[in-house]
Amino acid sequence: MKVVSITSFKGGTAKTSTVLHIGSALALFHKKRVLVIDFDAQANLTTGLGFDPDEQDSLAPVLQGEKSLQEVILKTCISNMDIVPADTWLERVEVSGSLAADRYSHERLKEILRNLPYDVVLIDTPPSLCWLTESSLIASDFSLVCATPEFYSVKGLQRLSLFINNISERHGTQVLGVALSFWNPRGKSNDAFLKVIDQTFPGKLLQAKVRRDIAVSEATIYGKPIFETAPKARASSDYIDLTSEILTRIG
């Protein structure tokens, strides 16, 4: 089993869409058993797969020792892909209950995820360098960084790189790659953005890039991945290529 955190330093980098579509592609086209974990209190991955976060339990009671992980896992519309949903309780979970008094609380998720019956676990983290993101990275074999060809997105990569490297030195997680979304092949500043990414994460930029496509946003309305709502859309092809490249790097 491989655990991968999907991270970014700011919102709007298609992080949640990346989790949803990589997970779906692994299950649909590579027959992998996949668990996606919504570890962001905004719960966009949860709603993106058709669930109401107000009606589900998240990892919060599991981290507090009140429920088992199996009790909060839900089946999705995708065969072979399950989800642990999110809710607003995640936002300050580390300062409440049993976690508040545990100086090693950020290592609890790693213990919870041991020996699960999945091939790949994908964790959707908040777009910030918080306790949830740190816990996710500690629990992961790899981190996948999401970015867009925009100034603030690329600028945030430098802080995220320092954060990941610091955790890697203590816990061994590796940067799997940098995934670019909202890509415009004819963008005037593409070369400058790609140069900054290569300087920040040398050799980690993934070749497959997800082009801007309204079909991705439309798919979330139906709570399904683009492969089912618009299989011929260009982003559908891009996510399939991205997933294959990621799978090769995971080994």
State how far the alpha carbon of 50 is from the alpha carbons of 45, 81, 249, 251, in Å. 9, 14, 30, 31
Domain that holds residue 41: 2-250
Q: What phi and psi, each to the nearest 5 degrees, are found at residue 59?
A: -75, -10
How many percent of the chain have pLDDT more than 90?
Answer: 68
Tally the domains of the chain.
1
HSE of 221, CA atoms in CB hemisphere, 13 A: 7
Q: Quick one: pLDDT at residue 142? A: 97
Residues in the chain: 251
Residue 67: CATH number of its domain = 3.40.50.300
Q: Does the pLDDT value for residue 154 go beyond 80? A: no
Cα distance between residue 30 and residue 27, in whole Å: 6
pTM recorded for the entire structure: 0.95
Q: Quick one: pLDDT at residue 129? A: 86
Could you read off the pLDDT of 164-222 as tens digits, one per residue?
A: 999 988 888 999 999 999 988 888 888 888 998 999 999 999 999 999 889 988 888 88
